[in-house]
Amino acid sequence: MRIFDPHIHMTSRTTDDYEAMHAAGVRAVVEPSFWLGQPRTSPASFFDYFDALLGWEPFRAAQYGIAHHCTIALNPKEANNPRCTPVLDALPRYLVKDGVVAVGEIGYDSMTPAEDTALAAQLQLAADHGLPALVHTPHRDKLTGLHRTVDVVRESNLPMERVLLDHLNETTVQHAKDSGCWLGFSVYPDTKMDEDRMVEILRTYGTEKVLVNSAADWGKSDPLKTRKVADAMLAAGFGEDDVDQVLWRNPVAFYGLSGRLRLDVPEAEGLHEGNSILRGGE
Amino acid sequence: MTQPPARTRDHVAAALPDDTARAWFDEALADAARAAKAPPTAPTSYIAHTWELRFAAAGRHCGHDNADAVRTLLLVEARAGLDTLTRLYQHGSAAERRAVLRALPALVEGPHAVHLVEDALRTSDTRLVRAAVGPYAAAHLDPHAWRHAVLKCLFTGVPLDAVARLAQRAAGDGELARMLTDYAAERTAAGRDVPDDLGRVLTLTGEEPKER
Ligand SMILES: [Zn+2]
């Protein structure tokens, strides 16, 4: 079984997770830019983070046989902090990088005017750079947020079929599907979806344009949720091909819209058994 | 001798996957040559010259196996100076940083770019460490930093074949021999293997392993 986790924050995870993910069948991940728990105070803090997503993290992933790409953006929450918003001016220099396969996570957190501005500006950046967009839908006031998100995307220069609406659930899936966007579901303990509800959604709405992710990060989360959904699908009577479509071919098709996806893992040049990560990074 | 030999424009063009990539490569080199002839006014921190955008995009247009060579040729064609090299390194992905390091011997006379090599040697990314220990490091790293670079290669598993002019710089280096001997002792005390490369470079120093 081959698995592509289209949304996971590996920066917050350990090498044990990489090892377990590989053992579970994960061969590719996309790491979206997001907030870090602790608020940032300047654009420079974003630059170090973006550099890690384009340097250190793909290197770390490659040690475990996992292809790593990222999405770059100013996240919705920090779009409200005037100390952070100047990072928008610097995004173009990151959006041209080979490892960047979308603009994201963008979208709404509290649905403020500052979030409106950042979302519209970054949808335009995606259109300008030939990139699709990963759009986070809000956790509070979710259905209203989804409607507003779809309206803004529709008014943008980015076609709906180049947009992935993420963190969907039973209440938002229908409207999201009607919009023509790709449909993302985060299977995350306690606050988002779980495996069995995910299987029900797949039964009801089908497997087309559906992506499932763990959204694992620094919170209580599980980087193996993708595999658990695959197992739940098989147990519920879905076939191997359905699993491959949802957990591999759909994410490959969506992020492949960037023309930058590279699924062969670059060999860690000149390494033998004792590499620096396995030994704690002298 | 031990870094991959610099590839010429013709070699790279022949290795590209198709005519689209070759056309892209030709245009990129032309952009870079124009920048070399008439350097535009200093870029703002965020807006790059056209050839610099191509420098970033080389992997997806030319294939990742060719990207290092394409990027290095672009830097040489643009006659990138120290300011440009430093900016491209600091704003670069790991792959872009590697190309800057590989281009240093062709573009920088003297030790002014040694801060870039030192930066790469502080990372734990073996692809950067490997690119850092080329001919530029051999010519310009001071003895202390150079010895630590050799030791870092042994620690991180970068083959010492990557270290340029290893034999010349190691010859007669008693301090390097001491560091290697101590490292071997530490490995042995911990019940771990001593890397094969260690004995080889110890021999190159011409010093006898000392009992301590
Ligand atoms: Zn996320």
When computed from its CA atoms, the radius of gyration of chain A, rounded to whole angstroms, is 18
Contacts of B155 in chain A (CB under 8 A): 276, 279, 282
d(CA A206, CA A212): 13
Mutate to test the interface with A, among B127, B187, B197 (most CBs of A within 10 A): B127
Domain boundaries, chain A: 3-256
Confidence band, pLDDT 50/70/90 cuts, at residue B171: very high
Collect contacts of A50-53 with beta carbons under 8 A, ≥24 apart. Answer: A50/A94, A51/B93, A52/A11, A53/A11, A53/A99
Residue B98 vs residues B21, B103, B121, B130, B206: alpha-carbon distances, Å: 21, 9, 12, 9, 32
In three-state secondary structure terms, A140 is: coil
| Average pLDDT, integer, range A28-57 | 97
Query: Could you give the dihedral angle defined by the CA atoms of residues B92, B96, B98 and B101, in that order, rounded to the nearest 10 degrees?
Result: -80
Query: Searching chain B, which residue's CA lies closest to the CA of residue A279?
Result: B156
In the structure encoding, which two tokens stand for residue A109, read together? 């957190």
Architecture per CATH, A3-256: Alpha-Beta Barrel (3.20)
When computed from its CA atoms, the radius of gyration of chain B, rounded to whole angstroms, is 19
Residue A218 vs residues A11, A27, A44: alpha-carbon distances, Å: 9, 21, 21
Task: Say how many Å lie between the CA of residue A31 and the centre of ligand 1.
Answer: 8
Query: Searching chain B, which residue's CA lies closest to the CA of residue A269?
Result: B127
pTM: 0.92
Confidence band, pLDDT 50/70/90 cuts, at residue B8: confident
Confidence band, pLDDT 50/70/90 cuts, at residue A280: very low
d(CA B158, CA B120): 13
At residue B5, the pLDDT reads 56
Task: Say how many Å lie between the CA of residue B108 and the centre of ligand 1.
Answer: 43
Confidence band, pLDDT 50/70/90 cuts, at residue B7: confident
Cβ separation B157–A272 shorter than 8 A: yes
Tens-digit pLDDT profile for residues A1-25? 999 999 999 999 999 999 999 999 9
Mutate to test the interface with B, among A49, A100, A258, A276 (most CBs of B within 10 A): A276
Residue B212: pLDDT over 60: no
Q: Could you give phi then psi for residue A7, rounded to 5 degrees?
A: -165, 100
Q: Hey, is the C-beta of A48 within 8 angstroms of any chain B C-beta?
A: no
Residues 6+ apart with CB under 8 A from A66: A18, A21, A22, A26, A27, A28, A29, A265
| Average pLDDT, integer, range B36-54 | 71
Cβ separation B195–A92 shorter than 8 A: no
Tens-digit pLDDT profile for residues A172-207? 999 999 999 999 999 998 778 899 999 999 999 999
Confidence band, pLDDT 50/70/90 cuts, at residue B39: low
At residue A123, the pLDDT reads 98
Contacts of A129 in chain B (CB under 8 A): none
Contacts of A263 in chain B (CB under 8 A): none
Nearest to A281 among B124, B130, B159 (CB): B124
Tens-digit pLDDT profile for residues A127-159? 999 999 999 999 999 999 999 999 999 999 999
Closest CA to A52 of A109, A99, A103: A99
> Where does chain A show beta strands of DSSP type E?
3-5, 26-32, 67-72, 100-107, 133-136, 163-166, 182-186, 210-213
Q: Inter-axis angle of helices B94-107 and B64-77, to 10 degrees? A: 40
Task: Say how many Å lie between the CA of residue A272 and the centre of ligand 1.
Answer: 34
User: Which of A19-23, A191-195, B133-137, B159-163 is predicted with the least confidence, judged by mean pLDDT?
Assistant: A191-195
Q: Tell me which amino acid residue A1 is.
A: M
Query: Searching chain B, which residue's CA lies closest to the CA of residue A281?
Result: B124
Q: Which helix (H) or strand (E) holds A67?
A: strand A67-72
Domain boundaries, chain B: 1-109, 111-212
| Average pLDDT, integer, range B70-93 | 96
Query: Searching chain B, which residue's CA lies closest to the CA of residue A266?
Result: B64
Nearest to A274 among B45, B152, B157 (CB): B157
Give me the residues of A, 93-112, that contact B with CB < 8 A. 93, 96-99
Pairs across A and B, CB distance < 8 A: 80
| Average pLDDT, integer, range B120-141 | 97
Cβ separation B93–A92 shorter than 8 A: no
Task: Say how many Å lie between the CA of residue A16 and the centre of ligand 1.
Answer: 20
- What is the value of ipTM here, to two decimals? 0.90
Residue B43: pLDDT over 60: no
d(CA A175, CA A137): 12
Nearest to A59 among B48, B91, B125 (CB): B125
Nearest to A275 among B53, B97, B157 (CB): B157
In the structure encoding, which two tokens stand for residue B51, read together? 């050839």
At residue B49, the pLDDT reads 76
Task: Say how many Å lie between the CA of residue A259 and the centre of ligand 1.
Answer: 22
Instruction: Tell me which residue has tokens 């056209």.
Output: B50
Cβ separation A98–B156 shorter than 8 A: no
pLDDT above 90: percentage of residues in chain B? 85
Query: Searching chain B, which residue's CA lies closest to the CA of residue A273?
Result: B157
- Tell me the average pLDDT of chain B: 91
Task: Say how many Å lie between the CA of residue B125 and the centre of ligand 1.
Answer: 25
User: Which of A277-281, B100-104, B115-119, B120-124 is predicted with the least confidence, judged by mean pLDDT?
Assistant: A277-281
Task: Say how many Å lie between the CA of residue B194 and the centre of ligand 1.
Answer: 43
Q: Could you give phi then psi for residue A18, rounded to 5 degrees?
A: -55, -45
Query: Searching chain A, which residue's CA lies closest to the CA of residue B63?
Result: A262
Task: Say how many Å lie between the CA of residue A78 and the centre of ligand 1.
Answer: 14
Tens-digit pLDDT profile for residues A55-113? 999 999 999 999 999 999 999 999 999 999 999 999 999 999 999 999 999 999 999 99
At residue A191, the pLDDT reads 78
Other beta carbons within 10 angstroms of residue B59's beta carbon come to: 22
Task: Say how many Å lie between the CA of residue A138 and the centre of ligand 1.
Answer: 11
Residue predicted with more confidence, A266 or B147: B147
Residue A278: pLDDT over 90: no
At residue B41, the pLDDT reads 63
At residue B195, the pLDDT reads 93
Q: Hey, is the C-beta of A161 within 8 angstroms of any chain B C-beta?
A: no
Residue B206: pLDDT over 80: yes
Cβ separation B94–A90 shorter than 8 A: no
Tens-digit pLDDT profile for residues B46-66? 456 789 999 999 999 999 999
